[in-house]
Amino acid sequence: MKKVLVTYITHSGTTRDVADAIAEEIIKTGCEAQVLELAEVKDSKEFDAVVLGAPMIIGWHRNALNYLKTHKAELAEKPLALFLTAMSLTESPKPDIPGVDLHLDPKLVAPPQKPGRFSFKESFTTLKHYLTPVLKAAPTSLKAVAFFGGRLDMYRLKWYDAVFVMLVVGAKPGEKRNWPDIHAWGASLPALLKLDSK
Ligand SMILES: Cc1cc2nc3c(=O)[nH]c(=O)nc-3n(C[C@H](O)[C@H](O)[C@H](O)COP(=O)(O)O)c2cc1C
């Protein structure tokens, strides 16, 4: 039976719940899945595939990017999928990344307020802006990337994070996780990662 590591980083729990939902779907397809916070991962050698999720915290969480960079050689040996949780994703041309399936939660993507040009804030939430550093850090074994809506609950944040999000990011509090979309992506992962259930 193929064993998948579903690992995540979270500030306030949102991305952990998404990781749990994804693992649940992977298990339903006949694979094994273990959910671990990234800080608990000692070694990914015992796994046949890795799924890594983290929130957008002005760009993808830097510990997730660092993990990709520092474990690039190890990760290159097994299929990898990434998921990103965010409160805003501004529509911009979808890049063609050979061999990588790119999924965007249709409820998260929004067109720029003025067609054809991005405002200053929107230029920090485009697909290209989010994706470029991620693709640069990822190994060649990357098979899939998904963007999901997250949740912003000011009461769960440290006060300075709450102030930062309100003043700098300008994201409004709320729940944007689209569970049917998250579950559907989880169910499609064994095929995207080219794992059979044996
Ligand atoms: C300090 C901070 C910065 C954030 N920056 C962004 C951002 O640049 N773009 C975005 O769409 N969401 C941003 N968010 C929203 C988070 O990505 C969203 O709330 C996510 O679901 C949080 O996941 P977590 O609960 O797993 O930490 C930010 C949140 C915080 C607290």
d(CA 79, CA 76) in angstroms, rounded, equals 7
Counted domains in the chain: 1
The pLDDT of residue 86? 95
Percentage, residues of the chain above pLDDT 90? 75
Residue 124 confidence class, pLDDT cut points 50, 70, 90? confident
Q: Is residue 99 part of a domain?
A: yes
Q: Residue 166: is its pLDDT beyond 80?
A: no
The pLDDT of residue 134? 97
Q: Residues 138-165: what's their mean pLDDT? A: 90
The pLDDT of residue 26? 98
Q: Which residue has the higher pLDDT, 23 or 122?
A: 23
Q: Is residue 66 part of a domain?
A: yes
Distance 193 CA to ligand 1 centre (A): 27
Among the listed residues 148, 152, 176, the one whose alpha carbon sits nearest the alpha carbon of residue 162: 152
Nearest ligand 1 atom to alpha carbon 8: 26
Are the C-beta atoms of 151 and 14 separated by less than 8 Å?
Answer: yes
Q: Is residue 198 part of a domain?
A: no
Whether 12 is in the pocket of ligand 1, judged by its Cβ within 6 Å, is yes
Q: For residue 112, give the CATH number of its domain.
A: 3.40.50.360
The pLDDT of residue 82? 98
Q: Is residue 150 part of a domain?
A: yes
The pLDDT of residue 39? 97
Give the pTM: 0.95
Percentage, residues of the chain above pLDDT 70? 99
Nearest protein CA to atom 2 of ligand 1, as residue: 57
Distance 56 CA to ligand 1 centre (A): 5
Per DSSP, the residues of the chain read --EEEEEE--SSSHHHHHHHHHHHHHHHTT-EEEEEEGGG----TT-SEEEEEEEBSSSB-HHHHHHHHHTHHHHTTS-EEEEEEES-EE--PPP--TT-EEEE-TTTEE--SBTTB--TTGGGSBHHHHHHHHHHHS-TTEEEEEEEE-EE-GGGS-HHHHHHIIIII-PPPEE---HHHHHHHHHHHHHHTT----
Among the listed residues 37, 56, 54, 23, the one whose alpha carbon sits nearest the alpha carbon of residue 125: 56
Q: Residue 197: is its pLDDT beyond 80?
A: no
Q: Is residue 140 part of a domain?
A: yes
The pLDDT of residue 140? 96
Q: Residue 198: is its pLDDT beyond 70?
A: no
* Interval 60-103: pLDDT, tens: 999 999 999 999 999 999 999 999 999 999 998 888 899 999 99
Q: Is residue 197 part of a domain?
A: no
Nearest ligand 1 atom to alpha carbon 15: 26
Q: Is residue 7 part of a domain?
A: yes
Q: Which residue has the higher pLDDT, 160 or 21?
A: 21
| Domain assignment of residue 178, given as a range | 3-192
d(CA 63, CA 9) in angstroms, rounded, equals 8
Give the chain's mean pLDDT: 93
Backbone phi and psi for residue 170, each to the nearest 5 degrees, phi listed first:
70, 15
